[in-house]
Amino acid sequence: MIEHTPTPWTIEPPTQDDLDHDIYGMRIIGGGDPEIFRHVVARVEKYTGTSEADGAFILRACNSHDELIAKLKLMTAIVEGREVDSPWWEAEDSRELIAKVENQ
């Protein structure tokens, strides 16, 4: 399977050069550390009233994906009664993860 661009992803607003060329959208940048690797994962071409909220939603979903999957696997194993490497109470900190994803 092909791996996605490493997280965390960030939002980059349009540069002055973009604005000079009538490009008003923002970029979603991936690659983890931008000093090492920088890749435009997505681009919002036109700025609308929801562009910033949409970009923030994409970042929260993508940047928390791996952590959410790991927590879901742990909780599923506990519910199914399988032996797990982590103590059961680690599943209880799911509320913190949910709050993080919901940006609360």
**pLDDT value, residue 91:** 63
CB of 39 closer than 8 Å to CB of 59: no
CB of 20 closer than 8 Å to CB of 46: no
**pLDDT value, residue 89:** 63
CB of 35 closer than 8 Å to CB of 57: no
**pLDDT value, residue 84:** 76
The vertex-30 CA angle with 28 and 90, nearest 5°, equals: 110
**pLDDT value, residue 87:** 66
**pLDDT value, residue 102:** 80
Q: What is the pTM of this model?
A: 0.70
**pLDDT value, residue 34:** 60
* Segments of the chain with pLDDT less than 50: none
